[in-house]
Chain A
């Protein structure tokens, strides 16, 4: 039994919170929807085993492998058995088998969208809980949002060394009175401050508070229960820090490792917070549990490009980009083409009676298949294109040009959803390159990002190139075809370390540009200086890409230029 000791737990915060979350989840799995455990290792395995035994007491628990397809999930005809037995054999879907219980989903961060959608639908019916095992390391590796939204607990146990406790199985949870109006009000206000938009976390939080009270055998929820609920439910979901503006001036909050210090001083804190209104106390609890990548994101916005962010929005389309099965067509398997078994049988099925008679085989056990029945899988080869605009926003690129570049990006984007192309935007100026727009097809986000693009300062061209290359590499990994469009006058004057040195900066640019060329990435240089310059032409040469001087650029002309180049490459 965990937490038999006093209610202000002093164990290492991370893992005790995970244990607590697991304990609450175990109390009523369906009310909480599920739990996500991030970070692989023996500690997690142990916890999962305990959860499994806990739930399996009177309910089914089924592990669904990452390779399960929607057919297996939903059930249907068992083809092998049907053929072997000569009569139709049905197989129940895994989700039907798990109804009323829980499913364990390993490698949840790699789950296909359609699988996630089916599971989410089963959860909406209210009798399925999920345990997501998230093996992701990078910030952009996460289980599908449809599932994360529907489960209460998001736990990160990647730093955990030992479990240090056991889950207990409560015979019957004692009745806990509903939250008071005041308590609900506090929860709603806290969520609002933390930038939590969805209503679901509120519902989870009130359930968590009551479950927490029940865990300690109390008849009503108090401050400690409320804080636990906020910490567990709101903490990992916070999208903004309380008082974001003020906090940015101050040094960032201590990283999670230092939190044990905070915890030991809890006793003192408690005294000092006793006079505060409860809302502030709740806030404090949540801020302490905000995961590090939130800070990274805020950091990323402030100090330039962060590695993880690049793939963030593209991830949604991951499965689409790898090529979805697009049905089948008649054909002979081989040469890399796979047999589409179902479709082959489907094609053969109507002829079975005739063929059996013709073959003099009255038995029902053989299926007669002719060459003309054979079907092969047909995948959609949709190589999405990603156009990465790297915009020189320095003082030397006149500000009017910047506006034109913005216009070009918006025009491209306006066509993006027709052409299934994505657009990303990197801007570089002064001593940094920042990712203004991660790969997206959304006009809404693009407009917001573009309107915030400032200009002026030096030209850290090398940094800009590096950022664009990072995006392009990430795109390649996702199966997209990236094209870098560089809008610059080619006059680099800031080195990567931020020092102003024209010659050194140009050397860096040459190095990186040639690296991009060596990788075989498409790069187009649009010279946006008032008169065409040798530097930009030189840059295009290093990149082994097109050079397009645009002395009188306007957005439409730019789009035309890019498109003509794209067309040329296809031909």
Chain B
């Protein structure tokens, strides 16, 4: 079964937008996707990773090193040869142990040669790619904590089993979960840059279209991929252009003020909300080919960047998204 083309995913515009924005600016820091099973969460994440152009890595490097950044590699990574590999997409299974995630002592080498040697874990594998965690709300707390720490710092620091190693681990963290099956701690939610709520497509037409496309893909993945190749190429170019343009997108002072005012009005905890909203809006402007951030960008990114940071009032029935929309209306119209 081939990977489903990103542009062939029906609907779910908000999720696709969030993934694109996160792909443009890695500093935004991950996307949390709330929603039921079978709504195309992992399909979309996988598809985006497959759409991106292959990355250049040092040959035989276990840490996916960039040829220009060999000095950061804990291995004696000196090969001059460079090979191309697909953007890594690591699926972190529920019940993963710390050992598997962080990496651990290479038992084989230790037993056979009596050598202390580091065996990289999933974090090293995900470097420069995507780390996808399905049902993050069911993941053990201590694993989540260390994941978020690494995701925020971009570096994995291993101090265990008598090893002392640091290696770069920069990845786009994508979590998914269903709030019906247990809440996430607010500290954890705050570490995610963006959050989206996916619903199963209600419109019959949309569901019919999904059936049609999946069927076409199952019958011939190659033909299907060929059909969507140009659309995927467009997405790819859009991301590449946006990445290049990002540094030159201007953020007018008025927009900064608006951002601060909006975050204050909705009562978003911490400063991370403002920063993410600003970065998100800038990435969105870059994606749309605009050279400065406008209020439209800001309001489009506001629910994605803020809804998971609002302090939850247990007795208040109003959803976070509604509260943000109300605040936008109040402030900007």
Partners in one complex: yes
Q: Chain A: residues with CB nearer than 8 A to chain B? A: 30-31, 70, 77, 82-83, 86-88, 112-118, 120-121, 124-127, 145-146, 149, 178-179, 181, 184-185, 187-189, 191-192, 197-203, 206-207, 313, 316, 320, 324, 327, 342, 345-346, 349-354, 356, 364, 367, 407, 410-411, 413-414, 416-418, 440-445, 447, 451
Inside 8 A of B208's CB, which chain A residues have their CB? 181, 184-185, 188
Q: How large is the interface on B (under 10, 10 to 19, 20 to 34, 35 or more residues)?
A: 35 or more
Inside 8 A of A187's CB, which chain B residues have their CB? 211
Beta-carbon contact of A350 and B114 below 8 Å? yes
Inside 8 A of A116's CB, which chain B residues have their CB? 94
Residue of B nearest to A188 (CB): B207
Beta-carbon contact of B93 and A202 below 8 Å? no
Beta-carbon contact of A200 and B38 below 8 Å? yes
Beta-carbon contact of B112 and A115 below 8 Å? no
* Interchain CA distance A447-B319 in the complex, whole Å: 12
Residue of A nearest to B211 (CB): A184
Beta-carbon contact of B215 and A442 below 8 Å? no
Q: Which of A192, A206, A342, A443 contacts B215 (CB 8 A)?
A: A206
Beta-carbon contact of A124 and B180 below 8 Å? no
B182 at the interface (CB under 8 A from A): yes
Give me 17 A-to-B residue pairs in the complex whose CB atoms sit less than 8 angstroms apart, sorted by A's number. Answer: A70-B93, A88-B111, A113-B95, A114-B93, A117-B134, A121-B91, A178-B212, A178-B216, A198-B38, A345-B107, A346-B161, A367-B111, A414-B314, A418-B185, A443-B312, A447-B314, A447-B317
* Given A202-B207, A316-B138, A353-B114, CB of A124 within 8 Å of CB of B42: yes
* Interchain CA distance A191-B203 in the complex, whole Å: 12
Inside 8 A of B204's CB, which chain A residues have their CB? 185, 188-189, 192
Inside 8 A of A207's CB, which chain B residues have their CB? 215, 218
B214 at the interface (CB under 8 A from A): yes
Inside 8 A of B98's CB, which chain A residues have their CB? 327
Inside 8 A of B201's CB, which chain A residues have their CB? 199
Measured CB to CB, the closest approach of chain B to A11, in angstroms, equals: 30
Q: Which of A115, A146, A410 contacts B314 (CB 8 A)?
A: A410
- A-contacting residues, B180-236, CB 8 Å: 180-185, 200-202, 204, 207-208, 210-212, 214-216, 218-219
Inside 8 A of B97's CB, which chain A residues have their CB? 327
* Interchain CA distance A30-B36 in the complex, whole Å: 23
Beta-carbon contact of A149 and B37 below 8 Å? yes
B105 at the interface (CB under 8 A from A): yes
Residue of A nearest to B116 (CB): A350
* Given A117-B94, A178-B215, A198-B200, CB of A417 within 8 Å of CB of B182: yes
* Interchain CA distance A353-B111 in the complex, whole Å: 10
Residue of B nearest to A76 (CB): B107
Inside 8 A of B91's CB, which chain A residues have their CB? 121, 124
Inside 8 A of A416's CB, which chain B residues have their CB? 183
B149 at the interface (CB under 8 A from A): no
Measured CB to CB, the closest approach of chain A to B96, in angstroms, equals: 8
Beta-carbon contact of B38 and A117 below 8 Å? no
Residue of A nearest to B1 (CB): A126
* Interchain CA distance A193-B108 in the complex, whole Å: 56
Inside 8 A of B96's CB, which chain A residues have their CB? 114
* Interchain CA distance A116-B110 in the complex, whole Å: 31
B140 at the interface (CB under 8 A from A): yes
Known pairs A113-B94, A327-B97, A411-B314 / 12 extra A-B pairs, C-beta < 8 Å: A114-B96, A181-B212, A184-B208, A185-B204, A198-B38, A198-B200, A202-B211, A203-B211, A313-B181, A349-B110, A354-B114, A364-B112
Beta-carbon contact of A179 and B211 below 8 Å? yes
Inside 8 A of A115's CB, which chain B residues have their CB? 95
Inside 8 A of A350's CB, which chain B residues have their CB? 110, 114-116, 162
Residue of A nearest to B141 (CB): A420
Measured CB to CB, the closest approach of chain B to A375, in angstroms, equals: 11
Measured CB to CB, the closest approach of chain B to A226, in angstroms, equals: 13
Measured CB to CB, the closest approach of chain A to B86, in angstroms, equals: 15
Beta-carbon contact of B183 and A443 below 8 Å? yes
Q: Which of A120, A191, A320, A349 contacts B114 (CB 8 A)?
A: A349
B39 at the interface (CB under 8 A from A): yes
B271 at the interface (CB under 8 A from A): no
The 8 A CB mask of B275-312 against A (1 = contact, 0 = none) is 00000000000000000000000000000000000001
The 8 A CB mask of B96-140 against A (1 = contact, 0 = none) is 111000000101101111111000000000000000001100101
Beta-carbon contact of B181 and A149 below 8 Å? no
* Given A198-B38, A202-B210, CB of A442 within 8 Å of CB of B182: yes
* Given A82-B111, A199-B201, CB of A414 within 8 Å of CB of B312: yes
Inside 8 A of B112's CB, which chain A residues have their CB? 86-88, 364
* Interchain CA distance A197-B94 in the complex, whole Å: 23
Residue of A nearest to B105 (CB): A346
Beta-carbon contact of B36 and A342 below 8 Å? no
Residue of A nearest to B203 (CB): A188
